[in-house]
């Protein structure tokens, strides 16, 4: 069976090399006579897997020693609660910049645990822009400022890290994590669900500055307590062992590509190919302000919505899978994460051009 080009927003495509290595090691991981899925998380074999993955992630991102790297469960949505529960222990004020659906969900969840404040919102533009930094209403005494560097649904991305002074910056990086270099020291907390660029669904990476741990709200569950998880090496309970293993393979694959500088160059090139084609077309449009277009998630509309179903059917027949846009936005969406090869973007552009010729 030939593999399709999978443009799913998540769970998303994984590198073929990673899948092939996992396949080869499925029944017997490095002579242990068992699958990673069967190992005790306390055993020497899995501990070595976890330590290797953690070391590789630290190396890829240049994580300083005064930050902890956690591999947790509950998805990024779990961290919508985890962030306020850990950072609002002595100060209930959390500021939020809302640039799409995930930012809306994050601030709503935070309302259960403190006093979240909408410092800025792009809802008045249907989340097709990012409010200018000088328009943000950031409280000097806020416990943190939370934002979403890339909104998966709307296709809006910050291309620079916002300066918020001494207020700890918190980022839900789920959909552009590991797609480019990041200056970790500009952040208090970074969290990301694995299922876009790092591995399969079921595990979430949290990178937290150590001085922000150890002061949670009294009602914080132990499973969400950053300090307890750091002290237990992310193993307060049985972790998502297989997902952690696949993440480690993906980190190794990224290193083989040349690291985050190299993958960013590729991602820029892939996105430019698709956006340049859309912008040159009278048949396709992208609704997002060009200055803040996402490199990871490219929404686009056809000139006639009545053609959407035919476009999707023919795309699937051509081996281009999962291009339907989110129900709240409509149209199409091509998610072109790290594992999407340039050949996949080329194939999509060629298909779109042919479809325009016959239907435009």
pLDDT tens across the length of the chain (360 residues): 689 999 999 999 999 999 999 999 999 999 999 999 999 999 999 999 999 999 999 999 999 999 999 999 999 999 999 999 999 999 999 999 999 999 999 999 999 999 999 999 999 999 999 999 999 999 999 999 999 999 999 999 999 999 999 999 999 999 999 999 999 999 999 999 999 999 999 999 999 999 999 999 999 999 999 999 999 999 999 999 999 999 999 999 999 999 999 999 999 999 999 999 999 999 999 999 999 999 999 999 999 999 999 999 999 999 999 999 998 889 999 999 999 999 999 999 999 999 999 998
Among the candidates 216, 238, 256, a domain finishes at: 256
Q: To 5 degrees, how large is the angle CA 196–CA 202–CA 195?
A: 5
293 and 248 co-located in one domain: no
Q: Are residues 318 and 341 in the same domain?
A: yes
- Judgement on whether residues 250 and 297 belong to the same structural domain of the protein: no
Q: Is 146 exposed, middle or buried (0-12, 13-18, 19+ CB in 10 A)?
A: buried
Pull the structure tokens for residue 167.
């207020």
| Domain assignment present for 3 | no
Supply the CATH number for residue 293's domain.
3.90.1150.10
The answer as to whether 9 is a domain residue is no
pLDDT computed for residue 1 by the predictor: 60
Task: Using the 3D structure, point to which of 218, 237, 256 is the last residue of a domain.
Answer: 256
d(CA 94, CA 226): 17
Catalytic hit among 29, 95, 102, 253:
102
- Is residue 98 domain-shared with residue 191, that is, in the same domain? yes
Q: How many domains does the chain have?
A: 2
Residue 137 within a domain = yes
Q: Are residues 60 and 187 in the same domain?
A: yes
Neighbours of 28 (CB within 10 A): 11
Residue 209 contacts residue 187 (beta carbons within 8 Å): yes
Q: Choosing from 29, 95, 196, 244, which is the catalytic residue?
A: 196
Whether residues 173 and 67 fall in one domain: yes
Q: Does 310 lie in the same domain as 210?
A: no
Q: How far is 219 from 204, CA to CA, in rounded Å?
A: 22
Q: Among 256, 272, 305, where does a domain finish?
A: 256
Domain membership flag for residue 8: no
- Catalytic position from the list 172, 225, 244, 253: 172
Both 61 and 79 in one domain: the answer is yes
300 and 184 together in one domain: no
Residue 322 covered by a domain: yes
The reply to whether 315 and 344 lie within a common domain is: yes
Statement to judge: residues 177 and 109 lie in one domain: yes
Q: What is the pLDDT of residue 2?
A: 87
Dist. CA 117–CA 115, nearest whole Å: 6
233 is catalytic: no
Say whether 65 is catalytic: no
Residue 5 domain flag: no
Domain of 146, CATH number, reads 3.40.640.10
| Residue 128 belongs to a domain | yes
Residue 66 belongs to domain spanning: 16-256
Burial class (CB in 10 A: 0-12, 13-18, 19+), 184: middle
231 is catalytic: no
Does some domain include residue 58? yes
**Same domain membership, residue 119 and residue 22:** yes
């Amino acid at each position: 069976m030939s593999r399709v080009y999978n443009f799913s927003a998540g769970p998303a495509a994984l590198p073929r090399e990673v899948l092939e290595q996992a396949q080869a090691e499925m029944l017997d991981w490095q002579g242990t006579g068992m699958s990673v899925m069967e190992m005790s998380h306390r055993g020497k074999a899995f501990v070595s897997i976890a330590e290797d993955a953690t070391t590789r992630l630290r190396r890829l991102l240049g994580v300083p020693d005064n930050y902890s790297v956690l591999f947790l469960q509950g998805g990024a949505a779990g961290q919508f609660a985890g962030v306020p529960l850990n950072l609002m222990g002595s100060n209930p004020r959390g500021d939020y910049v809302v640039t799409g659906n995930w930012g809306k969900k994050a601030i709503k969840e935070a309302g259960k645990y403190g006093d979240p404040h909408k410092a800025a919102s792009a809802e008045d533009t249907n989340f097709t822009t990012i409010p200018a930094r000088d328009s943000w209403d950031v409280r000097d005494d806020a416990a943190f400022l939370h934002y979403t560097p890339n909104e998966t649904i709307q296709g809006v991305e910050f291309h620079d890290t916002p300066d918020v002074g001494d207020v700890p910056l918190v980022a839900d990086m789920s959909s552009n994590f590991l797609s480019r270099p990041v200056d970790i020291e500009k952040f208090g907390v970074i969290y990301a669900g694995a299922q876009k660029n790092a591995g399969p669904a079921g595990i979430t990476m949290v990178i937290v500055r150590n001085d922000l741990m150890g002061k949670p709200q009294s009602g914080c569950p132990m499973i969400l307590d950053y300090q307890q998880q750091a002290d237990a090496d992310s193993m307060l309970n049985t972790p998502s062992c297989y997902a952690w293993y696949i993440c480690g393979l993906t980190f190794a694959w990224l290193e083989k590509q040349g690291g985050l500088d190299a993958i960013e160059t590729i991602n820029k090139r892939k996105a430019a190919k698709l956006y340049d084609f859309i912008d040159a077309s009278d048949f396709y449009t992208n609704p997002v302000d060009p200055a803040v277009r996402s490199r990871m998630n490219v929404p686009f509309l056809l000139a006639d919505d009545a053609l959407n179903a035919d476009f999707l059917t023919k795309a699937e027949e051509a081996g281009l899978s999962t291009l339907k846009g989110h129900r709240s936005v409509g149209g199409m969406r091509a998610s072109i994460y790290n594992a999407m090869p340039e050949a996949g973007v080329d194939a999509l552009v060629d298909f779109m051009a042919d479809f325009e010729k016959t239907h435009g």
